Amino acid sequence: MSEMLIDVRNLSITIDTFRGPLQVVRNQDIVLHSGEVLGIVGESGCGKSVMVSSLMGLLPKKQANIKAERFTIGGKDCLGFDESHWNELRGTTIAMVFQDPMTSLNPILTIGEQIYEVIHRSHAYGKEYDARKIALDILTKMGLSSPERRLIQYPHELSGGMRQRVCIAMALAGRPNILICDEPTTALDITTEAQILRLLQDLAVELGIGIIFISHNLRIVAQLCDRVMVMYAGKCVESATVEDIFNNPRHPYTMGLLMSLPQEKWHGELKAIEGQPPDLYELPRGCSFTPRCKWAMRICGKQIPMISTVGNHHEYTCWLAKLEGL
């Protein structure tokens, strides 16, 4: 049976800014099981990176105020964690791959030195282990050619695609059971992107790790993910299996995102969602999507819709559900 790796309920994150407190994530649940790939999509600025950074303990303590009813990662309640606790968890239970590989790689250390450090910090290998052999095995698994040579190279000597594979290798070297990927392939060419995505899919199946995959590319999400969360203005507006999101979307924002995908039948014309995401400092009352929604009703601008559930844990927050008797 699959294990619950992340169980976060009613998460809210407020960031202190020069304009005052900004609520970036609002009343959000995040649940991830072993072997599952959870996709998170949503327009720029909707809070995806801030939300996953909180799961890694990466938000600055002085600036970010995190509240949650439950905040359990790998079975541990992490809400009151100090930096030493997070250091224990990061890399060994939960690891992250960023969009720009150079963010995670140290330019003055060789690839080998950086991977060995992760292996030494991990408790997964016991007392006796051969770090070089482990590193070589992981680099080979990541599909890097000449892995022996890579160990003695510096990050700047590798291409962007190679660096991203190294980052995934480093993330996996600590044998975490949760891997967060924040737009890991955006900067890569299509072929390398496809290879890395296949790798991630294999990892979820073979190693049973849970993966959170953030992307703007809905086609990739459709291929890779089991479940999808659609975020808008700091909140999940729809969450369902990948099949339900793509074949039976319920929330007008999700429908708009799907309509904005290039479609042959529209002869290349893109149907973008009109308008802009709201300023988080001045969220509309009621449903945040009201100013852009063509189905908006009077109640939408007044009251926040409740969560409605249909079928297989398909959840969405929209007043239209009430018209359907849900």
The residues binding ligand SF4 (CB under 6 A) are: 251-252, 287, 289-290, 293, 295-297, 300, 305, 318-320
Nearer to ligand ATP, 60 or 268 (CB): 60
Among 23, 49, 177, 317, the residue binding ligand ATP under the rule CB under 6 A is 49
Residues 11-40, mask of contacts with ligand ATP (x by CB under 6 A): ----x-x----x-x----------------
306 forms bridges with which residues in the sheet?
Answer: none
Per CB under 5 A, does 185 bind Mg ion?
Answer: no
CA dist 262 → 128, 181, 186, 298, 320 (Å): 54, 25, 18, 32, 26
Give least dist CB 299 to ligand SF4, A. 7
Question: Does 28 participate in binding Mg ion (rule CB under 5 A)?
Answer: no
State which of residues 27, 28, 49, 215 lies at the interface with Mg ion (CB under 5 A). Answer: 49
Residue 251 beta carbon to ligand SF4: minimum distance, rounded to whole angstroms: 6
Q: Give the nearest distance from C-beta 293 to ligand SF4 in angstroms.
A: 3
Q: Which stretch binds Mg ion (CB under 5 A): 12-20, 41-49, 144-152, 288-296?
A: 41-49
Give every CB contact of residue 317 below 8 A, 6+ residues apart in sequence: 235, 236, 237, 238, 251, 287, 304, 305, 306, 307, 308
Q: What are phi and psi of 123, to 5 degrees?
A: -95, 0
Q: Which of 5, 26, 30, 48 binds ligand ATP (CB under 6 A)?
A: 48
User: Applying CB under 6 A, what is the total number of residues that bind ligand ATP?
Assistant: 13
Q: Is 187 in the site for ligand ATP (CB under 6 A)?
A: no
User: Exposed/middle/buried for 25, CB within 10 Å: 0-12, 13-18, 19+?
Assistant: buried
Minimum distance, C-beta of residue 321 to ligand ATP, in the bound complex (Å): 25
Cβ 192 to ligand ATP shortest distance, Å:
21
Sequence-distant (6+) residues with CB within 8 A of 197 are 185, 220, 223, 224
φ, ψ for residue 225 (rounded to 5)?
-95, 155
Tell which one of 6, 32, 38, 46 touches ligand ATP (CB under 6 A): 46
Collapsing DSSP to helix, strand or coil, 14 comes out as: strand
Based on CB atoms, which residue is closest to ligand SF4, 177 or 290?
290
User: Residue 64's closest CA among 79, 75, 76, 74?
Assistant: 79
Q: Are 175 and 135 in contact (CB under 8 A)?
A: no
Residues across the chain: 326
